[in-house]
Chain A
Amino acid sequence: MTKRLVDETDGPLDASELADAAIAAALVFSLLAIGRLLAAGLFFQILGTVVFAVLAARHRTRTVVLSVTATALFTVLLGGTGPITQSIIAGLFGWTGGVSLARNRSIPRTVGLALLVGWPPVALATVAFFSVATELRALAFENVENQWNGLSRVFEPLGFPGVRDAGADFISGQLDWWMIAVPVAQLFVSAAYALLVRRLGRRVLRGVNDALGPVVPLSLQEPETGTSFEGGAPLPLSLDDVAIERQGYVVNSGVTVSVSPADNVAIAGRNGAGKSTLLDVLAGLIPNSGVVRNGAPRLGLTGGTSYVSQRPEGQVLAPTVAEDIRWGAAADVDVADALGSVGLVGFDDRLTSELSGGELQRLALAAALARKPSLLLADEITSMLDPEGREQINQLLTDINDRGVAVVRTSHLAGDLAEADRVVTIGRPQELVENELLNTIYVGRPVLTLTDVSYTYDGGKPWARTVLTDIDLTIRSGELVLVTGSNGSGKSTFARVLAGLRKPTEGTVEKEPGTSVAIAFQHARLQLLRPLVDSELRSLAGAHSMDEKGRARLERLPRAVGSLGLGDLLDARVDSLSGGQQRRVLLAGLLARGASVIVLDEPLAGLDDEGRLQLAEVVDDLRRQGTAVVVVSHDASWGHDRVTRVLRLDKGRLSTERSDA
């Protein structure tokens, strides 16, 4: 089914192996922590084992060993020896399970490998541990006997004479011979465990392989020896009518770009035109013939190329700001100077987890500048920011360029493109389509009313945080409400409270009878759980033939599918769809579920004008069917003529900016 995707080779882990090892460690640690607190340790241990199995199926053994070691070290934090043991068991059985899955081994061979590798250390460790920890052994065994004695007292009078003594004899016999009885029991448990891991792991691994494809090794560039600073600089470079290839596919052909020192170039184009791929080629991440360069790109090295990406939280590597700047930088890097040049003076010891999106992007730019690059590549770096943050970043890019660094950025936003000296458009040119006016005749009766709603996270704890304060709002059927606010204004919490995912700590959310509220999060893929579009739609809608409600949803489904133009995609795999199509699947499912209010959380992030227009049309269609739509976004650029109300969320308080109702 799946092949081992990376050959067994020696040598240290590459970037993707390190990152996958760390992500698996973090995930298993979280699972074990939740298990410990919910006293459901075994269930979460099994999930953790499956996580390691997926890692083992996709990576070298070395990756798994390091990941398990990291997990075991962190689980000291959870107290006692239990969680450490759990992480090691998860590692052993995850590794055997993953290796068997990757090689498509039969059940007997899978179980055999698990018993060969997993059982001996577990049995030996248990015997060794209980041989030393005599007091704990006595206590644990006494408790087993006590529980039996207590239990048998209850059912002995019910007509099972002799059961008590027989059971007690059996148990004490087992406990007397525990050095044999325990390992034998563990042998059977190990076999069952291996079977369960195989079964669960196979489904999860298939899902992961479908969604992510094979592991693409990311290689670091070695600094070439013998090249001087100037000679090694990547500029000037040029592409003349070059076809850009990614993994054997031509993404874009006929690209012509040239970049000289201190240039300021913008790459424009619609979603999917290959803008990011072009930047990867310039960075040297994707080898492509036809690029004429002065020197190697030297990505991330001093005097070479620096790269900043779209997702602010995705590119931070260290827990503190200063450490993040130092990651990979020259030993004598001036952290304060780098921070000063992006307006983050005094941020050295701040935790990166507490920075806003705009601050994170500035930090990424600071890390880039610390390498004194001759070329800075910026891939849609403003698309996740609010207008204020976007303006600051644009100003910074201009400043950086003024200091003699060549800047190449991609964007689909006109404001960003205006900052550049030169705009190169790739793919078909964007057509800006006039918005069709949609008046407000659809607005009907109130369906959802919020009264004095406040929301506090972790109320009563010292880290309590009030994010919503005294919100009053009435949503009417068929209306389109736009709720704007900067990053960190409480928008996400507001969306979750509206959708009923969080119960307000004060105030009430009242729904008219028959009203149901659904939410669509920013990344549609996270919300689509099934592999095939058809089954996903049924699951999302709750459509089935078991009762009235389910049948009604089943009947509504074809219309929802039709109105969102998904008729041809029913047999497709969810992971083969584009982001926009995934979002339409999600909306169709929610519509068929009978949602009368749909909350869209940041629906515009990363969409180009055409994508935005498509989404606006989908929303119009929802409204024609009486569904109210609430768009929660930092992006106020939704066609205002279509919106019935614009509200602004500022530090948890809601105010009306414009209202037609």
Chain B
Amino acid sequence: MSTDIFRDVPVDSPVRRLRAEAKLLSMVALSMALVFEPTWWMIGLAAVLGVLLFKVAKLPAAILPRPPMMLVWGLLGGAIGASLSGGEPFVLGLGLGGLLDYVRLIVLGLVLLFWAGMLAWTTGLAELGAGLRRLIHPLRRLGLPTDELGTVLAITVRALPLVAEEVRVVTDVTMTRPTPPADSSKRGFAVLLHGFSLAIDAAVAVVVGTNRRSRDLARSMVSRGSTSAPQPAPMPVRFADVLSLTVAVALTVVSFVF
């Protein structure tokens, strides 16, 4: 269900044409810059850069997810708590310090999530898997089992839609189960207990269901006579990839130095 929000949007653009590993590394660098230097300047810069790239990537605004109401109310409650604390700066005699700190923390989270979205919307899962595998490939010189890990990554890409399907069926099924009545206060606990035990049953069903899929995949590997995924095709490094990385790394360095 919700994972659909992070699906890739097939619009050709300079951002989409970037190599997956360039985008991945850039995002890691940018996240580090934000996490180590969460000042308004840095957050603002990341946000402006994000919006610019959103335009360059020709992404429609409709893909932005709507936050669940539960989350909105929770954030509002936190904001009230924080603003009551007061503190500098004072505007019209009201201390806004607490609120500002709070808003900064929340905006930081949202900007990070937005950048994650940028990566997901402009990169297919298949590309991302291939990018990750190209990235880890050089580590084989250190004696790490990169071929094995590469195969796990390749099958994970394949497994994601299968897992989503199992989760969907089990969620549907669990939702349609009749629950004991909740009208009596005495039975509130029983209903809670029932819900809890149903959740565990559902978890078992998902794990069992996905493990069946895993058997299919294992069999399929054996039928192909190989347990190692073919290497992803090498890709040329282009100017745009280098530029993207340079900007992101520069930001990180700046954030550390200043």
Q: With A207-B204, A328-B224, A529-B204 in contact, is A15–B177 under 8 Å at CB?
A: no
Which residues of chain B from 48 to 98 have a CB within 8 Å of any chain A CB?
Answer: 60, 62-63, 65, 67-68, 70-71, 74, 78, 80-87, 97-98
Complex-state Cα separation, A519 to B174, whole angstroms: 12
Q: With A220-B227, A317-B155 in contact, is A200–B85 under 8 Å at CB?
A: no
A646 interface contact, C-beta 8 A: no
Which residues of chain A from 314 to 357 have a CB within 8 Å of any chain B CB?
Answer: 314-320, 323, 326-329, 351-353
Instruction: Encode B168-180 as 1/0 by CB contact (under 8 A) with A.
Output: 0110111111111
**Beta-carbon nearest neighbor of A25 in chain B:** B156
Complex-state Cα separation, A303 to B157, whole angstroms: 30
Complex-state Cα separation, A529 to B178, whole angstroms: 13
Contact: A463 with B9, CB < 8 Å?
yes
Contact: B172 with A496, CB < 8 Å?
yes
Number of chain B residues whose Cβ lies closer than 8 Å to a Cβ of chain A: 127
**A residues near B119, Cβ cutoff 8 Å:** 77, 79
Select B198's contact among A283, A529, A593, beta carbons within 8 Å. Answer: A529
**B residues near A220, Cβ cutoff 8 Å:** 221-222, 225-227
A513 interface contact, C-beta 8 A: no
Select A143's contact among B101, B161, B203, beta carbons within 8 Å. Answer: B101
Contact: A18 with B68, CB < 8 Å?
no
Instruction: Encode A282-294 as 1/0 by CB contact (under 8 A) with B.
Output: 0101000000000
A154 interface contact, C-beta 8 A: yes
Contact: B220 with A150, CB < 8 Å?
no
Contact: B152 with A70, CB < 8 Å?
yes
Contact: B149 with A542, CB < 8 Å?
no
Contact: A462 with B221, CB < 8 Å?
no
Contact: B149 with A211, CB < 8 Å?
no
Contact: B177 with A37, CB < 8 Å?
no
Which residues of chain A from 66 to 121 have a CB within 8 Å of any chain B CB?
Answer: 66-67, 69-70, 73-74, 76-81
Contact: B176 with A499, CB < 8 Å?
yes
A455 interface contact, C-beta 8 A: no
**Beta-carbon nearest neighbor of B126 in chain A:** A319
**Beta-carbon nearest neighbor of B67 in chain A:** A39
Complex-state Cα separation, A140 to B221, whole angstroms: 48
For the complex of A and B, 8 pairs with smallest distance between CB atoms: A300-B225, A542-B178, A79-B116, A328-B226, A314-B216, A150-B84, A319-B126, A207-B204
B residues near A (Cβ < 8 Å) are 1-7, 9-11, 24, 27-28, 31-32, 34-39, 60, 62-63, 65, 67-68, 70-71, 74, 78, 80-87, 97-98, 101-102, 104-105, 109, 112-117, 119-120, 124-126, 128-129, 132, 136, 145, 148-149, 151-164, 166-167, 169-170, 172-181, 187, 190, 198, 200-230, 232
Can you sample 17 A-B contacts with CB below 8 Å?
A: A18-B151, A18-B221, A19-B214, A26-B160, A30-B160, A77-B6, A142-B101, A143-B102, A146-B102, A207-B204, A317-B229, A371-B225, A496-B172, A525-B209, A529-B204, A542-B180, A550-B180
A residues near B (Cβ < 8 Å) are 12-16, 18-23, 25-27, 29-30, 33-34, 36-39, 47, 50-51, 54, 66-67, 69-70, 73-74, 76-81, 132-133, 135-136, 139-140, 142-143, 145-151, 153-154, 200, 203-204, 207-208, 211-212, 218-221, 283, 285, 298-301, 304, 306-309, 311, 313-320, 323, 326-329, 351-353, 367, 371, 458, 460-463, 496, 499-501, 518-519, 521, 523, 525-530, 539-542, 544, 546-547, 549-550, 553, 593
